[in-house]
Structure 1
Amino acid sequence: MSGSTHSAETNHTGRYYMYAFIAFWEIIVLCAAGCEGHHSYRRYSRGVVAPAVVVNDSMTEGDTRLYVVQFRAQDQQTYTVQSHFNTLGHRYYRGQMARVVYLPEDPADGRIDDNAEKYGVAGGCLLMAVFGLLFGGAVYYFFDRPQRLSA
């Protein structure tokens, strides 16, 4: 008798930890999406657009290319930045001109003016949050719903 009670308590505790982990995951990815979204919004709403020259590219997996560009900021210094994401449908070549958006107080954190750079991290975090909710819903639906008693 006490063995079955202990087993039910252990099962309940395991579910509690699983839901706590899913909630923690959601909080982390939503905070990351909010922070990066806010930073991206600041950069693209108050940033300065500067012409840049593609100086290098690196191929990672498959067709994914990350670009390295140089630009001259308002302080007349030259900065080099690397893209964080493969540009969506746009291929740059060495020596080609691109555009960089940067905040005047932090030109070293400039980004290539491209939708992938604009929405990449925040969009990825939101996508992970959706997958986390779907996973939590699937766990609840298949493993944790109250069982109907058969008559």
Structure 2
Amino acid sequence: MPTIRHAHRLRTGRYSVPGQVYLITSIVQNRDPVFKDFEQGRLVVDALRKAQQEELALSLAWVVMPDHLHWLIELKDSTLTFVMARTKSRITFALNRSIGRDGPLWQHGFHDRAIRREEDLQAVARYIVANPLRAGLVERIGDYPLWDAVWL
């Protein structure tokens, strides 16, 4: 496994504020496209829904790409670190069990960006769900099965 020399910088300046909206990105180790298979991608969707059921975060929009995840959330009474640790752990466990693998799945850490109040949340959500289109995976956003947004 390659060493990430500056992974600690992902945490520098990180604040978890309940009620704040965040755009979170998490990447699979070595950019392995494990979620290109629909069934494996659905494991991610299940974990995102579980985080919402547990009232850790309100999912506003998300897209599961073959090798990473973009998730727009409103943080509830928790921390970003807790939400992501629990969600990534849940996905890893389910995927490992599903395909008979073991070991870590995700790169260490995650990237987060707090969305300013004046930003248009729907525009951010449109940008997120258009990722498969920009990546050339589909010709129309509606053709990609692993995304959702509350505005639809």
User: Normalised by the size of structure 1, how large is the TM-score?
Assistant: 0.23
Q: Higher RCO, 1 or 2 (CA under 8 Å, sep at least 6)?
A: 2
Between structure 1 and structure 2, the one with the greater Rg is 1
Q: Which has the higher helix share?
A: 1
Q: Which has the higher strand share?
A: 1
